[in-house]
Structure 1
């Protein structure tokens, strides 16, 4: 039986002629409202609101799912993805947040509930640049000093897939991060307040300071009905689908292209939000965007919007495996194997330090901006899990390489000339604890839906691709012709023992205010 609170909310919306309950866009959910209760009805409503923050018509699926806590949804037979995030449970949504910068950041532990969208307006405050209406986050004023000047460099580093508790479990092995945390501002209640909790949505929210329902990036993979095929959020490395200005865009416009702005990362879904729209934004200039492309084993860009220094483009990753290196006994023989080792972090930082030095970052009075995605922890977490030796070693590797970045910034801008912000886009689940929890496969969900609702032609499910999206796309017209509706599908899925809740697009849209 569907949750009465969900159906009541939707019914109220329609009975009041569309006066739907909206989620305040400038206020994060209090800590007591994001999964810290055991009451299923309360959690159902909270998770509905989280999906509503990331609902965008035409881009979101028709059915949204939450697995039971401790269960993991996966694609079958994929050895690289044995652990999968995307849920609202604490292991996926509790993220670290450190701010550090002598003279600019106050030292202390801050227990205020904060979210991804508070980061961009905080950077805007440091740079003293006005923010647009889409940037609904709140600057973290409590941790900012009353400095009258601007830092020469601001670095935002996103540790892809890093849970907040990593910083407690491994802190003795992480001297650089430990120092930044102790000397700077540590936000102990930073967490994600939207669903799904994954890379594309996280990076876009960090970069824009907007809710996903505003910036438009709501899933790693969507289904485009125009072409009847799946699509990522940034096809052809184009930022066109990002519908809100990023902090890089604001600084690009404010400085008329005179600031050095660098966006670096792995995969388009992580890197393009970091770089912003670059020269594809009206009145803006090209920025540097360096994205690692595993297919060619090197750094690439979109030349229509961004620049890529030749010395970065020429640095091919093959130099790592051609030297015969291995990592924790794992052979490195191509881009895929390299990405899942700490050796890639060193390769990435080689490029980042080169850009800091050769692009003269921090060398004048106009502050420069660097936004970097570090993807390795995510790849390792997906394959070996958060409690693996590989994850612990990769954290140590990152900590060491972060020290190299700090040394480069100190050389460029002085010991007191820069601010570093460190966060994560999402967490990762641990090993399912049998017998109560297990791995389940999205192909089984598709088969179950077809068995129940479309047993003959089996085509009512249009697409269910990335398990982390926790949503799938349905042919609504066919479903109706078969005598069913979305609520029938959601009710059926909630009867599966490994599904905590299922929501229809109509329910989510009503709460989102669309």
Structure 2
């Protein structure tokens, strides 16, 4: 074999076993990078206050194609989405959606609660350190300072070096302040006929907000509330005349139409609009104005618009789940969503934004109606319980002062008195819990000691533990029986760990979202991690949920 032949053979043999990228270098450069994230120009978070999941299916045939149906037909529907903690109320609900965790971590344990340090009742968004902007009342003295972790909106601001904007809007202050997080450019809420804010965000309202308020476009909604469609078509709700609905002041019956101009002065003037579908329309109007004025989604840096529709809660509380008023409110909200979608398509561009929609809690059917249908339901009689409970405390401890407060279905005990009586806090908790369990309407009780010592993974105790904050929550937790509420005998309410309060919609649509649905259980603290994964940004600092992988492309 010649020397030249040997060299040629060796060269060919060596080349054939070289790493493939030695000759594949140019090809790899031409390949696109693996997509690590989606960069929508705008993320829109929508919370519909007190929306049950079955409002999607119940009113489906009345919805248009570009509101709720756009979410379902073109986006992703999580059909089995639940709150995994109690109390199921507005403050904790909004906070949990945006922080990706529960009250055990984020600290918002109710709309109001008893503060063990100051021995006073505190409001979840209240902050006397800041002043009202846009009003002379105290309605603007708000901030997110009681929320102890970051939100998805905070993390987006941090990720973009504060270049991405966050604007939060709701009729309710807590529905704007808490979603906006600690770093929002602005949060706006409605008070006495105007959109206002707090000096936490700014010293003066922007020119566009002043102009919006001055235009008094809201006055167009001071009109009779008639049904959107012929009321005979509303077969998905109960009879218009019934004993299960509340009344506006000055009304003799709750039947349509509701003459808002005639009821105006007696019901707080502009406050009256909150308990009508027009409150949602006002919110949509303002959100659309913010979209334009703040140039949200106008460049390649992702912005965030958080919008909460609060009127659904006011209407639900007053008229109840099965009312014509609730049905009409959702049909009109569907039109407001359609308007918002059209503006997003026009100003940001279809496919250039991502939207999610959920609720801060659901609601129970009116128990008095359920009772008339021979379904187990009732109203708890607290006055009777208070009398018997006071006798128990006096007999066993010589004083009723051992209980400091009762809020959010939790008893707060005076540990100093317990210590002075030379008693064990754990034993007193257990004794009180056992006593409360004997009262009608109370289904089960748990102690703080149980919340501290156990790691519950399912059922009611799991839900309670997720809502239990060791620094802020009480000593004895009370759960009412299914179907039993503490509320007047008209209208609906919420707050319990029962499934009728926890099951809420979760819909996604837009950039980076698959089309489809799932009946696998998802939980409310999964939303923020899902959005964070979509955007490729850090999870909120206290996040305990997980991304919903089925949703993301």
TM-score when normalising by structure 2: 0.60
Shift of the 212–387 alpha-carbon distance from structure 1 to 2, 3 Å rule, reads same
Structure-to-structure mapping, 1:214-233, within 5 angstroms: 214-233=105-124
1:223 counterpart SS class: strand
Contact 1:476–1:486 (8 Å) recurs in 2: no
Contact 2:279–2:310 (8 Å) recurs in 1: no
**Correspondence 1:206 to 2:102:** no
Task: State the Cα RMSD in Å.
Answer: 2.7
- The aligned counterpart of 2:159 is 254
1:453 to 386, 393, 409: 393
1:326 counterpart SS class: coil
Q: Deviations over 1:351-404 (max 9, x none)?
A: 110000111111111121111111111111111111111111110111111111
- The aligned counterpart of 2:311 is 376
Contact 2:166–2:185 (8 Å) recurs in 1: yes
In structure 1, distance between residues paired with 2:182 and 2:218 = 32
Q: Deviations over 1:170-217 (max 9, x none)?
A: 111222202321211111111111111111111111111123211111
2:283 counterpart SS class: helix
Q: Greater CA radius of gyration, 1 or 2?
A: 2
Structure-to-structure mapping, 1:406-485, within 5 angstroms: 406-432=341-367, 433-434=370-371, 436-454=376-394, 458-465=400-407, 469-478=408-417, 485=428
- The aligned counterpart of 2:225 is 327
- The aligned counterpart of 2:195 is 299
**What is the deviation of 1:305?**
3.2
**Correspondence 1:506 to 2:445:** no
1:496 to 432, 439, 446: 439
**Correspondence 1:165 to 2:54:** yes
In structure 1, distance between residues paired with 2:430 and 2:211 = 54
Judge which range, 186-195 or 233-242, deviates more.
Answer: 233-242
In structure 2, distance between residues paired with 1:341 and 1:263 = 21
In structure 1, distance between residues paired with 2:78 and 2:452 = 31
- The aligned counterpart of 1:45 is none
Q: Deviations over 1:475-501 (max 9, x none)?
A: 344467677712111111111221111
2:163 counterpart SS class: coil
Shift of the 146–188 alpha-carbon distance from structure 1 to 2, 3 Å rule, reads farther
**Correspondence 1:186 to 2:91:** no
In structure 2, distance between residues paired with 1:442 and 1:311 = 49
Structure-to-structure mapping, 1:267-416, within 5 angstroms: 267-278=172-183, 287-293=185-191, 296-305=192-201, 308-313=205-210, 315-316=212-213, 320=218, 324-328=222-226, 329-332=257-260, 333=264, 334-416=269-351
In structure 2, distance between residues paired with 1:476 and 1:425 = 34
**Correspondence 1:265 to 2:161:** no
In structure 2, distance between residues paired with 1:312 and 1:446 = 48
In structure 1, distance between residues paired with 2:431 and 2:94 = 34
Q: How many residue pairs were aligned? A: 358
In structure 2, distance between residues paired with 1:150 and 1:444 = 58
Contact 2:171–2:274 (8 Å) recurs in 1: no
Shift of the 374–442 alpha-carbon distance from structure 1 to 2, 3 Å rule, reads farther
Shift of the 200–323 alpha-carbon distance from structure 1 to 2, 3 Å rule, reads closer
- The aligned counterpart of 1:73 is none
2:81 counterpart SS class: coil
Q: Deviations over 1:414-454 (max 9, x none)?
A: 12211110111110000213274222254554444223213
Contact 1:442–1:464 (8 Å) recurs in 2: no
In structure 1, distance between residues paired with 2:410 and 2:200 = 33
Shift of the 199–212 alpha-carbon distance from structure 1 to 2, 3 Å rule, reads same
Contact 2:125–2:143 (8 Å) recurs in 1: yes
Contact 2:99–2:150 (8 Å) recurs in 1: yes
Structure 2 unaligned runs (5+)? 1-33, 128-141, 227-256, 456-464, 471-553
TM-score when normalising by structure 1: 0.64
2:44 to 132, 151, 155: 155
